[in-house]
Amino acid sequence: MTVYKKILVTGGSAVAGTAMKAIASEYPESEFVFTGSRDCDLVDREKTFAFFEKTRPDAVVHLAALSGGIGLSMKYPATVLRDNVLMNFNVLEAARIFGVRKTVMTLTTGMYPVDAPLALREESIHDGPPHPSNYGSSFAKRLVEPSIRAYREEYGLNVIGLVPNGIFGENDNFHENDAPMVPTLIRRFYENRHGDGKIVLWGDGTPLREYTYSKDVARAFLWCLHHYDDPQILNTGTSEELSIREIATLIAGFIGVDPSRIAFDTSRPNGIHRKNSDNGRFVALSGFRYTPFRYGLKETIRWFVEASEKSPCSIRTAGKSGLAAQR
């Protein structure tokens, strides 16, 4: 296994970054540096270069992104596209200029074409348009793939691309408008746990989703940092699927909400029915075993409830819309 003395993790205050911080002790030979937007604005080229010059990492795991729920993607498509592209290229250029030995770039299964064959394979990335609801984010992430090939070819940069699917876990974003589905439902069920009214969800509850526990994301990325060097991007998320109805029912059960209170507004859109990913290459290489969704969800809710009761200010509820509007 290749050893990296100093590993810089961008997006260090978000759900995947804090999960990586939680498991960093599994790599005692490495010093980890976790950075968030308050430490360095990666959209700014000069600030990014100054930060790399100061920290001098010999490996980078680039997790930082401007992302959130569908509302953010639909309202700010240009900002999401621009900021993510700028961050990605600033990190790549800094890695090149300051001699970073290995760089890990993050993509997303949301970038795959709407009509790509299932299960989603890495080769399908450019075979059609993404879903119109998140095209800004999707094209920013798709651009990572040719960037990897180009930087490897022209500069010999050791850079790889990893494709997680939905991520959830402790220290997720629980903002009521900008958060992804799982933390949004956790917060909504918790805040309405003492009532008896209906808790209304969009659609009919049948769409299937894959969600990977954040500590699995962290372990998968660090395994690839140390063991994977191919230019081929790699799907690294779980293949376990649950319907939105099943996810909502599990959340209700763990929080103590009567599942009969769950109602679905079928006048609202379902979104894509299914977008399962093929993680066969990664699992064959790594032998990776994923945390069952039910266990990861229980741990996440346990953390959220405890934080809500003992330290509510520790829960991330700041929206990203304000940031987007200021760009």
Please tell me the predicted confidence (pLDDT) of residue 69.
66
Burial class (CB in 10 A: 0-12, 13-18, 19+), 1: exposed
Contact 327, 79 (CB under 8 A): yes
pLDDT at 318: 63
Q: For residue 295, what are its two tokens?
A: 């266990």
* Interval 179-190: pLDDT, tens: 789 999 999 999
Q: What is the pLDDT of residue 324?
A: 40
CB 3 within 8 A of CB 157: no
DSSP 127-195: SS---GGGHHHHHHHHTHHHHHHHHHHHH---EEEEE--EEE-TT-B--TTTS-HHHHHHHHHHHTTT-
Residue 277 CB: number of other CB atoms within 10 A? 24
Per-residue pLDDT, 326: 41
pLDDT in tens, 76-97: 899 999 999 999 999 999 999 9
Distance, in Å, from the CA atom of 236 to the CA atom of 205, rounded to the nearest integer, reads 26
Provide the H-helix boundaries in 242-315.
244-255, 280-286, 293-310
Cis geometry, peptide bond prior to residue 64 (ω within 30 degrees of 0): no
pLDDT at position 83 is 96
Instruction: Tell me which residues of the chain have a pLDDT lower than 70.
Output: 68-71, 178, 318-327
Query: Domains of the chain by range and CATH?
Result: 6-319 (3.40.50.720)
Q: What is the pLDDT of residue 62?
A: 98
pLDDT at position 327: 43
